[in-house]
Structure 1
Amino acid sequence: MMVRMTVALTQAVVEIERHVSAFGWDQPARLYALVDTAALVRSEPQLAKDLGLAVEDGAATTLTPIEQDEIPAETPVDEFLAGIAWPDAVAGCAIVLERLMLPPAAEAEMPSAGSDEEIAAWVAARPDRQEVRIAVGVLRDGTRESVLRLREKDADSEVLSGSELVPGLAEALKATFE
């Protein structure tokens, strides 16, 4: 069962990132509840019908992403996530957001002091910065998956994936279940 849920999480995170990418860049952060599709079909048959969901006997485990209310732009994501609690029916959650990233070598040059705004301005001014869309999902048991798309490679649909690409964000999502 664990392997099936891990595969289902990977599929859900990839699906969510593709969905958001269809809207282009410069999108707000988006939060999703991940529910077991079979459980959703059983417990909410009308909703499942409205969503076009059906589960065949013996079918692979899948997760259905359900987008949540908008994350307020003025609220830092970590603060917003700290106020989230999920009902038991939610098997996991995922978030998609856009950020600027620097290569690891730039970390040594980062100012050690300064406000968040000053550091953000420093990052934005760097010629080696990369604009990225990050999608991270976690299950209640801590299983995680991440997908990262570089804006400069958007046209070729190339994404990076892995469970440890954005560990801090994954931990913040995991904390919403504790």
Structure 2
Amino acid sequence: MSLLEEVVLDLERHSAQEGWDAAPRLYALVESGQLRKAEPELADQLGLSAEVSTLAALEQPALPEQAAVEDALATIAWPDAVTGCALVLERVVLPPGAEEEIPEDEAEAAQFAAEHPKREDVRMVVGVLRDGTRHSALRLRRHDADDELLVGPDLVPALADALAATLEPDEPVAG
């Protein structure tokens, strides 16, 4: 299992322990060796061993509530010390065909989705690295008790693309 797969699964387990209906959480992924050199006290607090190479997931301040997650990500640029990033996000998924019934008004659309009898609550954890590596884990709320996860590199490609764009050095930061 790759270091990215491990950190994505760790973040999913942590989120599962916290429960559902959580705000999106963004993490900087830093190689444990780099973190130990730059911030030895923080590395000690996190229990990062000098002998084992891992990716440390450092939770970032909350994303702006008034902005869509994708819009908030478009304003982020990571320093070179950040190897990658990960996002934990919950969404409501509706069955095929329900899109045609969604009201135009944003508040009405949110209520429609929340009350739809065939809605699915999904927790997504998506991680990307500067080298292009990606990994995701998805959990449906209805499978919370049986601990069933979908995992793979391309489960949420648009979100992975938005995260990868935050790691691109030459991209201008929107402001």
TM-score normalized by the length of structure 1:
0.85
Tell me the CA shift for residue 130 of structure 1. 0.6
Matched, 1:88 2:77: no
CA distance in 2, matches of 1:137, 1:115: 32
CA RMSD of aligned residues (A): 1.9
CA distance in 1, matches of 2:141, 2:131: 31
Secondary structure class of the residue paired with 1:98: strand
Q: Contact conserved, 2:103 with 2:112, CA < 8 A, in 1? A: no
Q: Which structure 1 segments of 5+ residues have no match?
A: 1-5
Q: Letter of the aligned partner of 1:70 in structure 2?
A: A
CA distance in 1, matches of 2:105, 2:5: 35
Question: Which structure shows the higher helix fraction?
Answer: 1
CA distance in 1, matches of 2:25, 2:64: 10
Aligned structure 1 segments of 4 or more residues deviating by more than 6 angstroms: none
Secondary structure class of the residue paired with 1:141: coil
Residue 3 (structure 1) aligns with: none
Q: Percent identity?
A: 50
Residue 163 (structure 1) aligns with: 153
CA distance in 1, matches of 2:142, 2:59: 27
Q: Letter of the aligned partner of 2:84 in structure 1?
A: G
CA distance in 2, matches of 1:113, 1:155: 33
- State which of 74, 93, 99 in structure 2 corresponds to 1:110: 99
Alignment of 1:64-83 (within 5 A): 64-83=56-75
TM-score normalized by the length of structure 2:
0.87
Q: Which structure 2 segments of 5+ residues have no match?
A: 169-175
CA distance in 2, matches of 1:122, 1:78: 22
